[in-house]
Structure 1
């Protein structure tokens, strides 16, 4: 993999990037963790929020605007999550508009008009929530699955379903979570042991991941049943045990040492190795990525897992992938080592061929999953530290020990084939491309 371009994102701790074509331009939107930094465009110190960068020429990214987020540090501030829909696609959107859905710290969800990326304008805001996190927005229907903490629920984060087909008029549909998390549930059901992290929808299925580090839960949900509610109930959306169970296709509890930060469905994969078999040549798989949380390997190793979901009610673990620690002496480099997330784009030339992983101090890793039983690495890129890279610390024998290390936090790809990684330790946005044999995997 080769570095194409870089932007320091004003030295802000970055979480989630998305990249979209807007007219004849390609625009990257990057959500940030809490904190603050000077904005040279305004001459002011601003709370971290959302960076908007023109990446039409990936070798020369151009910073367009910064949208301040909620005051606070880490996950208590900023505006970590971003999704974007075109008004041409949203059922009640204005055809000449582009709309950005983002979190506002831990207290709100916001929709912005970013048709002119240099001048974003607030459209609407959803308040009365807490602990907002990784949303998913269906551009073709406007349905959004917002990750929030709702009043009375016994978990920090669950799912709130909204109709955002008209971005100016958000319409609440229902709250949803695991049995035992709803208001009034007995504490013995341990609903507080699990919290929603993020959903991904494909067709009539939604793939939910709960907990990122330990005690993970993977749920496959029937979307139609979730939106319609239980017809046998007096109130089809009331969070009773029956109503919360009604749309569930399957629930898979992971090993206690595993989480489910990202659950990426890759459906209808043709497996070349099975081409001559009379059955089983096409499989549905779920790429599950756990999150590393502790610096310098003071934890269970976190990695990518592959789950066969061809038979939805009987998912089966089939493979894993990890970067050997010895290959880069990663436990001694400082910061976190291990997976955090995968790319989520399903329209790029890499779909069902390559998965890109954010691996913290091991950078961006490109994994060939065409044979999902035997995923293998075909490329990687580890960014260099800069004068903006922040230190990461642990306590050793009662004293604090700090090291400076990159922390590639999230990755995404665009339809042109460029790969984007953003850094948790303030090093910025890295735009890379594949070279050599790895590049040929994505060719038609």
Structure 2
């Protein structure tokens, strides 16, 4: 543990740091997936994605960086079996006309030229063969006109599910992708909230300051649960992949702060965990929450509780973003639990919750890493504080957390 003395956490309860990687100097990380002893990490500032050997979690080793076309975001990715799927989307940080406030406020389609899918960036989804885990080999690309793919859900087999903004829509929508031939993925159907299909003459019925856009959907069986940012959450019947049908739409912004980011169904318990994303410093976008819904009837979701908010210190005044971002999504080939939740909380690190009693969730572990030693975020005047971004828990219970500046942390609970 001596080698980790310089990584002493700012706060820890029932959790410790096992290992750390600066990801070969590209220490900005967003989504992380672990497969066959290797971590695949998407970047938000560095572009492309990185591969890290984590077979020895106390001594993770950077393997390689895989670049993507210039001007392209590839911060989100998915692994299953010997396949790796990577998003390609316009890098919004490089758009001179869109700052953070404009990106998160109102529809994005009116702010960028989404028809220019091949003008300065790549839009779509790339498929890699990772039979050799250390050496991803690109085998397919699905071009998609518009802004590109924001996030993917894929657990193997024939179907993948993406959020993307095609021309004619106000923002990201739900798209089903046929993966029967991984070298040639094909979009087969779409679903959106009424008011989003501008090309068909639909007009939004919501306040234009809100952003109604699918962040992504999580799929269990024939049920897709969608997180629509300020548009709330949906349940979708996908038993017919060519004709998805909306079952229910619930929105609680306003009066609450919005920014729905993840919707994790716990089918065996008839529950749905809804995670909101904090996107502005110092809680300027309000207090974001994690909600638990009863979805025993998926057509009638009912909110029954919220998870405790971290409070050891005044995180709202710490600087940076305080609030949830991502949850461990119980993907195939990972740790599975419908009772224990792992949620990243940005400047408040990682939080673990016990929801055996879904009406009274309890925090049972937490770890807040120290401030980053250097900043990968090249935007001016960014605060030098931790920003725990994503979490993946492997089948052995090891926890992998990314940070937008501080690299990959590998953590372990003292009691799981």
The two structures have a TM-score, normalised by structure 2, of: 0.82
Q: Answer yes or no: is the 8 Å Cα contact 2:38–2:134 preserved in 1.
A: no
Query: Which of 185, 193, 215 is 2:201 aligned to?
Result: 185
Secondary structure in 2 matching 1:71 = coil
Q: Deviations over 1:305-356 (max 9, x none)?
A: 111111222211111123344x123123221011111111255555112101
Paired positions, count: 362
1:414 deviates by 0.6
Secondary structure in 2 matching 1:180 = coil
The structure with the largest alpha-carbon Rg is 1
- Unmatched segments (≥5 aa) in structure 1: 37-47, 87-97, 230-245, 270-283, 394-399, 440-444
- 1:100 matched to 2:84? The reply is yes
Distance 1:169 1:4 in 2: 40
- 1:341 matched to 2:341? The reply is no
Matches within 5 A, 1:24-423: 26-33=37-44, 35-36=45-46, 48-72=47-71, 77-86=72-81, 98-106=82-90, 107-127=123-143, 128-140=145-157, 142-153=158-169, 155-182=170-197, 183-190=199-206, 193-211=211-229, 215-225=230-240, 227-229=241-243, 247-256=245-254, 257-269=257-269, 284-325=270-311, 327-346=312-331, 348-349=334-335, 351-389=337-375, 402-423=382-403
Q: Answer yes or no: is the 8 Å Cα contact 1:304–1:321 preserved in 2.
A: yes
Q: Deviations over 1:204-247 (max 9, x none)?
A: 11111101xxx33211111113x143xxxxxxxxxxxxxxxx71
Distance 1:188 1:414 in 2: 41
Q: Answer yes or no: is the 8 Å Cα contact 1:287–1:306 preserved in 2.
A: yes
1:390 deviates by 5.0
Secondary structure in 1 matching 2:128 = strand
Secondary structure in 2 matching 1:210 = strand
Secondary structure in 1 matching 2:184 = coil
Cα separation, partners in 2 of 1:401 and 1:138, compared to 1, 3 Å = closer
Q: How well do the aligned residues superpose, as a CA RMSD in angstroms?
A: 2.1
- Unmatched segments (≥5 aa) in structure 2: 1-14, 91-122
Give the structure with the larger strand fraction.
1
Query: Which of 405, 411, 414 is 1:432 aligned to?
Result: 411
Q: Which residue of 1 aligns with 2:16?
A: 2
Secondary structure in 2 matching 1:56 = coil
Q: Which residue of 2 aligns with 1:235?
A: none
Distance 1:188 1:148 in 2: 18
Q: Answer yes or no: is the 8 Å Cα contact 2:129–2:137 preserved in 1.
A: yes
Distance 1:217 1:323 in 2: 20
Q: Answer yes or no: is the 8 Å Cα contact 2:225–2:265 preserved in 1.
A: yes
Distance 1:209 1:355 in 2: 18
Cα separation, partners in 2 of 1:258 and 1:386, compared to 1, 3 Å = closer
Distance 1:188 1:321 in 2: 31
Distance 2:176 2:310 in 1: 40
Cα separation, partners in 2 of 1:371 and 1:288, compared to 1, 3 Å = same
Which structure would you say has the larger RCO, counting Cα contacts within 8 Å and 6 or more residues apart?
A: 2
The two structures have a TM-score, normalised by structure 1, of: 0.77
